[in-house]
Amino acid sequence: MQQCLKIYGKQKTRGSIKINGAKNSAVAILPASLLTGKTVKVDNLPGITDIHRLIEILSALGAKVSFRTETSLELNLNGVSSFSPPSELVNQLRASYYLMGSLLGRFKRVDIPMPGGCDLGPRPIDQHIKGFSALGAKVNLEKGFIKMRAKKLKGAHIYLDMVSVGATVNIMLAAVLAEGKTIIENAAKEPEIVDVANFLNAMGAKVRGAGTDVIKIQGVKELGSAEHIVIPDRIEAGTFMIAAAATGGEVLVKDIIPKHLDAIIAKLKEVGVSLEIGLDWVLVKSSGCLLPSDVKTFPYPGFPTDLQPHMMVLLTCSQGTSLITENIFERRFRHIDELKKMGARIKLEGRSAIIEGGYELTGAQLQAMDLRGGASFIIAALISKGETEIRGIEHIDRGYEKIEERFHSLGIKIERIS
Ligand code: EPZ
């Protein structure tokens, strides 16, 4: 059923909002639970479709899954015996690639379709496969399927050709039950990777150095039970911080880890937004008229690519010319054409977008094509004149729980219509 969001323009976000658990941690932690045959409890899960899909996949593999509350899950992995998850579910989310590392680690074999997910340009998994092969897996790619077999997995010294969140996590998952020591060099340092490593160690794994560019893993025989609380979602937090900055609102963003938002906080200060930072909260106050800035996306702790579209919308409000350079994904600029429908003055030159700020946007009919671009259209709708309709909101639902209710709680008139 086609759904869309209808949003009225010229609104300011006001109030306070509690941030949910991190999608990019939760979508790795649930597959990671397959590495044990015992029971695990995971709290602070976000209620997003990627999580619902993963729960269906784990159940199809034989896990017993029960919700203790809306956001906390108990999983008994004792009954898991299958190593080939249902394709129709796997194809619905990119993070299904974490099933490769965990099923290979547990069963030494896996049959799974190539991962789906957002269209941000080519999204190869050559570094994941490089790691699995180094650990001793025979990898066959045939007709869109990945089949891996390993007599046993032996620790290896793996040097990633480029910083990759997915490859770093996936190799960690495959290595925790391998024989001997694995070293991952040039590892990604995202907070979500540290969260996954903490979960693995809670189950009895021996992972050291997560959060730095060298991760060392001492293989163990088996993993046990664990309880884990997923860290707050820094991208969701950044989304509401940028919305407050762009709309000239005042929002208290709660239940966050401010350290994870250093790059966003620095950028928002640079464009003239006032921020008060607490232990687990940040208060964002903005007059709405902002300064231009240059933004370059980089792996953590650099400015996150996942907030690049939102920053682009914000910079259309800045008086002057801004530049955004996307260094992570080849084609993460599909939101530009949609923003141009609203009158945004953005020019694309290679990996950089030049934004002529200070021209008011007008509401339009927009098509979301990926998760974060879709979310940035909500911010664009709020700062523009007139009404906006956003289609393709199933992309937004993949990463943001009940997005219209969240904005509604900040005083915004927004409705989901079928
Ligand atoms: C993760 O994607 C996140 N997804 C993305 O968030 C995030 O944008 C990205 O990391 C970067 O931070 C999840 O965690 C589920 P990468 P991932 O491997 O792992 C290239 C969102 O909106 N590369 O760090 O796919 C790749 O093409 C999503 O929540 C290879 O060439 O990203 C990209 O250009 C969007 N070969 C760059 O590296 C590989 O084997 C970084 O990708 C792997 C990656």
pLDDT at 33: 98
| SS3 state at 417 | strand
DSSP symbols for 9-71: SS---EEEEE--B-HHHHHHHHHHGGG-SSEEEEES----HHHHHHHHHHHHTT-EEEEEETT
Which pLDDT does position 58 carry in this prediction?
97
Task: Report the alpha-carbon distance of residue 66 to residue 181 in Å, rounded.
Answer: 35
Pairing mode, strands 226-229 and 39-43: parallel
pTM score, whole prediction: 0.97
Q: Which residues line ligand 1 (CB under 6 A)?
A: 23-24, 27, 94-95, 118, 123-128, 162, 164-167, 188, 305-306, 328-329, 371-372, 399
Residue 77 Cα, ligand 1 centroid: separation in angstroms? Answer: 28
Instruction: Give whole-number Cα distances, 397 to 1, 230, 301, in Å.
Output: 14, 19, 26
79 Cβ neighbours under 8 A, 6+ residues apart: 62, 63, 64
Instruction: State the catalytic residue, choosing from 4, 118, 289, 317.
Output: 118
The residue whose CA is least distant from atom 39 of ligand 1 is 125
The burial class, CB within 10 Å (0-12 / 13-18 / 19+), for 86 is middle
Q: Whose CA is nearest to atom 28 of ligand 1?
A: 306
Bridge partners, 14 (sequence order) = 250
Look up 289 and say whether it is catalytic: no
Parts of the chain with a pLDDT under 70: 116-119
Please give the pLDDT value at position 118: 56
Q: What is the DSSP letter of 367?
A: E
Burial of residue 181, with CB atoms counted within 10 A of its CB: 0-12 exposed, 13-18 middle, 19 or more buried: middle
Distance 94 CA to ligand 1 centre (A): 10
**For position 70, what pLDDT does the model report?**
86
Nearest-CA residue for atom 30 of ligand 1: 124
Mind listing the pLDDT tens digit for each residue in 7-55?
999 999 999 999 999 999 999 999 999 999 999 999 999 999 999 999 9
| pLDDT value of position 117 | 52
CA of 222 to the centre of ligand 1 (A): 29
Mutate which of 49, 97, 165, 327 for ligand 1? The one with the most ligand atoms within 8 Å of its CB, which is: 165
- Compute the distance between CA of residue 175 and CA of residue 172 in angstroms, rounded to an integer: 5
Give the list of residues 6+ apart from residue 136 with CB closer than 8 angstroms, or none. Answer: 150, 151, 152, 153, 154, 156, 178
User: What CA–CA distance (Å, rounded) separates 285 from 22?
Assistant: 24
- Give the pLDDT score at 323: 98
Domains annotated for the chain, with CATH where assigned, are 4-20+232-417 (3.65.10.10), 23-229 (3.65.10.10)
Atom of ligand 1 nearest to the CA of 168: 18
**Backbone angles phi and psi of 182, in degrees to 5:** -115, 135
- Ligand 1 mean position, distance from CA 161 (Å): 14
| Closest ligand 1 atom to Cα of 192 | 14
- Nearest protein Cα to ligand 1, atom 34: 329
> From ligand 1's centre to the CA of 115, what distance in Å?
12
